[in-house]
A and B are shown apart, each in its own frame.
Chain A
Amino acid sequence: MIRWPPDLRPLVRRFRSARPFPHLVIDGVLSRDDHARLVADFDREPHVLVENEIYLHLRSSDPPMQPALRAFHAALGTECSTVSTICALPLTRADGSAYVYLPGHYLLPHSDSRQSEGRAIAYAYYVDAPKRGGELELFACARRGGEIVRTRSARKIAPRANRLVLFAVSDLALHQVREVLDGARTSIAGWFYP
Chain B
Amino acid sequence: MVNHISNEKVIEVENLTKKFGDFTAVKGISFHVNKGEIFGFLGANGAGKTTAMKMLIGISNPSSGNANVAGFDVHTQSDEVKKSIGYMSQKFSMYDDLTVQENITFFGGIYGLSRKQIKKKTAELIEELQLGDITKSRVGSLPLGWKQKLAFSVSLLHEPKIVFLDEPTGGVDPITRRQFWELIYTEADKGTTIFVTTHYMDEAEYCDRVSIMVDGVIEALDTPKNLKKQFDVDSMNEVFLKLARNIE
Chains A and B form a bound pair: no
**B→A interface (CB under 8 Å):** none
A residues sitting closer than 8 Å to B (CB atoms) are none
